[in-house]
Structure 1
Amino acid sequence: MSFSKCTLLIKFIFQIIFLLVFASFFSACAHQQDAEPSPSKDTDKENVPPAQPEDTWKLPIEIPEGEFYKVGGWYSDHQILYITNLEQSSSVYLYNLLTGSSELLYKSEVPIVTLQTSPSKKNILIQSSPSTYEGQVTILSLEGSEILKQAIPSYELAFEWNPFNESQILISSFNEDWTFQMLLLDIEQRETTELTLPQPFVKWLGNEEVAYLNWNDDGPSLFAPLMMKSLRAETGEEIFTDVLQFAAFNDILMTVTVKDDEQLQATYTFYDEDKRIVNSFSIPHLSMFSGWLVPYNDLNVSKGEFLTLKPVKSAEADAYREGFELVSYDINNGKRNVILNGLKNEPILLSPSGKFALYGNRFEKVIDLETKELRELIEK
């Protein structure tokens, strides 16, 4: 094979890895939730009892207008935010699972791409798409009024809300060729600052500290060192070597690694704010052409419960047909609880109390983790 063909092959492999990492970033970081429930809102939300068994929930949701697009996330344990589309416009509704009522919070004249609540549920971030090469970021209050709106030239955007200072949001702005800019949006100051960070997929570790996997730009790699960097510093500090994936849940840091003597197992390790090990466990994992598949997961920090989809055995991802178990792990004592079997590897998102989980590519299902029941939010 000629040198030029080898070079093209290496670039092609590297692009595949980048896109896989990019996809897993959105699945993991776009929906990270804080453990504290938010206050109730409005008359149909006031004096409502805390989360109830799902047999009291009013389902499926009756869509007031337009076509269901997706659920954006939890507002409280008995309220969710969902998006509908009508022609080129989008609307955001607040749905009360106990009363069965939908309240219109916000209407956009251009399509809404995604929605996130702040970690404490005090604000809502909406990303809309006026055109292919422009993203529009809107910050709403709980009542749906606009606090800030800003247009950002981009092909794709990713967000990381600072749980230690909710007035700050890190924005990764990608061009069509996947080159990127890192921006820091300060809601309180109403300003955006460009940052110098070597990687686009970052997590907050503190008020001004972030972490990222420092992938080698010269060629494809299955693992990378996990770095910590202050936004004020020029260089970062290596925390761990050979990490496959990581996540940060407030003061809890999680890494996914593969041990040399257990190549068929993925090891999940949890660290406290001082980088001391809290607990660790291993599960089977699925291999792909460019590495290993890390299933969707989430953590409820206050309860110390980690929820993940787990393959029943190690295998090649393309040939795997046995489905996934939904399993919770107590990261403090290691207790394991199988909730459901035979599921697909699709996004999951815990409610503020950790009693329920949204599930599905559009979060169109909800799971009661105590009764182990799964229900459809939208009538098929």
Structure 2
Amino acid sequence: MKLPFLMRNDCSRCALSGSIRKIVILLFLFSLLAGCELEEKKIAPKANLENDSQELIEPVRLKSNLFDRFIGWTGKNTAVYVTKESENHSYEIREYNIMNGLENAIYSAKVPIISVSISPGQSYFLIHTSSSPEKADIEIISRDGYSIFSVSITSSEISFEWNRDNEDQLLVTSFFEDWSFTNYIVNVKQKTIEPVNIPEPFAQWSGSDELLFLGLDQNQTDIAGTLLKKRVSGNTAVTVEENVVQYRMLAENLIIIQLDQDRQNLLYKIKRDNRGAQLLLQTSLLAANTEPQIPYWEIVEKKKSLLTFLPDDNGEELFNLVSFDWNSNKQTVIIQNAENAPLQCSPYGGLCLYGYQLEKIIDLQAKRVFDIVEPRKDA
């Protein structure tokens, strides 16, 4: 999820301006970004998948301190996760088949793996490691683990966004200690990294040579901003929508979350081509520790559905996970009394990784949650 914050937009390395509140918003934003066993394994409860047949989900079994987090999907039944063994300085990326339990190690390192990003077509993995607090080491590997391109840049934190229309290209944003930043374009095939003049961080591709980003007035502390569009090589940005809090560019559609005129409600909308935005869902704006809270949300584009967490009627800090079909306008409760936590849904539909380590799986049709990670009995 991406929230706006205040930056000067006069150069590619921009200095943060504004109050401590704005830095807190940025930190909140950044916090949201972001073993092979041959023994016989027990079978987890049955899950009802896309074809309505009863399939078996095979959990990963590891020592309790070895599992770090799941990253995302690489196929209908395969996903990637990270292991860490700090004492031996051993870190791995493994691809796992959730149906038969087969897995293979794709990548290993002697330094902690900070983050991993899978390209839209699952051809590449971007791996972020660091040997010092002032440097980010970026390596891009192929699906089979072959190293294609690596580079080190000065950075305290980084974010990255793949180009959906050309997965040989991605945007990398490098942040510094004062939260100033530099945007770069990485070309995987050409093995190049070049600074690019984008006035804000956390931009998203809207075409092969076009980016979307949120812009705010320098003196504004509102969480909503203006969604702008700019060509990579151009100097002029055009307005797409106003009062936007978050957005996501899909293969065919643009999803936006806006504040209403009273600044009390969130409006979830879908925008197709150059047509007006269609309202999908309206919910009350929540507050956590006096700061606005946007529940986690996800899109299953193949199913034409938006998933998000809505507050439970009992008023406690629990939510209902709901799915909204934007073709039929039908809203379905998937999980009741759920925790508001990150979702990573398979592009093929049916299953979603869930949790702060993506350590669970939600079967959208069976409306059930399964643990995908279990401790080994001999651990």
Residue 295 (structure 1) aligned with residue 295 (structure 2):
yes
**Structure 2 residues not aligned, in runs of 5+:** 1-17, 35-48
- Using a 3 Å threshold, how does the CA distance of structure 1 residues 377 and 289 change in structure 2: closer, same or farther? closer
Aligned-residue offset at 1:89? 2.7
Moved over 4 A (4+): 49-55, 288-291
Higher mean C-alpha displacement, 167-176 vs 71-80: 71-80
- C-alpha contact 1:305 1:330 (8 A) present in aligned 2: yes
Distance 1:337 1:182, change over 3 A: same
1:348 paired residue number: 343
Q: Do the aligned residues in 1 keep the contact of 2:50 with 2:349 (CA within 8 Å)? A: no
2-side partners of 1:74 and 1:222: how far apart? 31
**Quick check: 1:336 aligned with 2:306?**
no
Residue 17 of structure 1: CA displacement?
Answer: 2.3
Whole-Å Cα distance in 2 between the matches of residues 353 and 72 of structure 1? 16
Q: How far did 1:91 drift?
A: 0.5
- Contact 2:62–2:374 (Cα < 8 Å) also in 1: no
Deviation at residue 275 of structure 1 after TM alignment: 4.1
Greater shift in the superposed pair: 163-172 or 298-307: 298-307
Matches within 5 A, 1:1-380: 11-24=19-32, 26=33, 56-59=56-59, 61-63=60-62, 67-87=66-86, 88-260=89-261, 263-288=263-288, 291-312=291-312, 321-379=316-374
State which drifts further: 171-180 or 219-228.
219-228
- Distance of aligned partners of 1:178 and 1:52 in 2 relative to their CA distance in 1, 3 Å threshold: farther
CA contact (8 A) 1:80 1:96 kept: yes
SS at match of 2:101: coil
Contact 2:301/2:347 (<8 A) preserved: no
- Which secondary structure state, in structure 1, belongs to the residue aligned with residue 19 of structure 2? helix
Secondary structure at the counterpart of residue 18 of structure 1 = helix
Which AA in structure 2 matches 1:11? Answer: S
Q: Distance in 1 between matches of 2:21 and 2:313?
A: 27
| Distance in 2 between residues matched to 1:161 and 1:323, nearest whole Å | 33
Which stretch shows the higher mean deviation, 287-296 or 299-308? 287-296
Report the RMSD for the aligned CA atoms in angstroms: 2.3
Letter in 2 for 1:157: I
Tell me, in whole angstroms, the C-alpha distance in 2 between the residues paired with 1:224 and 1:66: 41
Instruction: Report the CA distance shift for 1:332/1:277 in structure 2 as closer, same or farther (over 3 A).
Output: farther
* CA deviation map 1:117-169 (0-9, x unaligned): 11111211111122211111111111111111111211001010000110111
SS in 2 for 1:302: helix
Deviation at residue 207 of structure 1 after TM alignment: 0.9
Alpha-carbon displacement from aligned partner over 1:10-52 (angstroms, at most 9, x marks no partner): 612222222233334x1xxx5xxxxxxxxxxxxxxxxxx9988
Q: Larger deviation: 166-175 or 131-140?
A: 131-140
- Tell me, what secondary structure is at the counterpart of 2:198? coil
Which letter maps to 1:63? L
Alpha-carbon distance in structure 1 between the residues aligned to 2:50 and 2:215: 43
**SS of equivalent to 1:199:** coil
What secondary structure, in the 3-state scheme, does the structure 1 residue paired with 2:179 have?
A: coil
Q: Which amino acid aligns with 2:29?
A: V
1:247-305: per-residue Cα shift (whole Å, max 9, x none)? 212231122112225x5431101001224334432123302466521111111222211
Change (3 A) 1:12 1:241: same
Shift of residue 82, structure 1, vs aligned partner: 0.7
Q: Distance in 1 between matches of 2:106 and 2:53?
A: 26
Where does structure 1 lack aligned partners over 5 or more consecutive residues?
Answer: 1-9, 31-48, 315-319
Residue identity in the other structure for 1:74: W
Please state whether the residue corresponding to 1:253 is helix, strand or coil: strand
Indicate how the Cα distance of structure 1 residues 313 and 270 shifts in structure 2: closer, same or farther if over 3 A, else same.
farther
Q: 2: distance between equivalents of 1:53 and 1:117?
A: 29
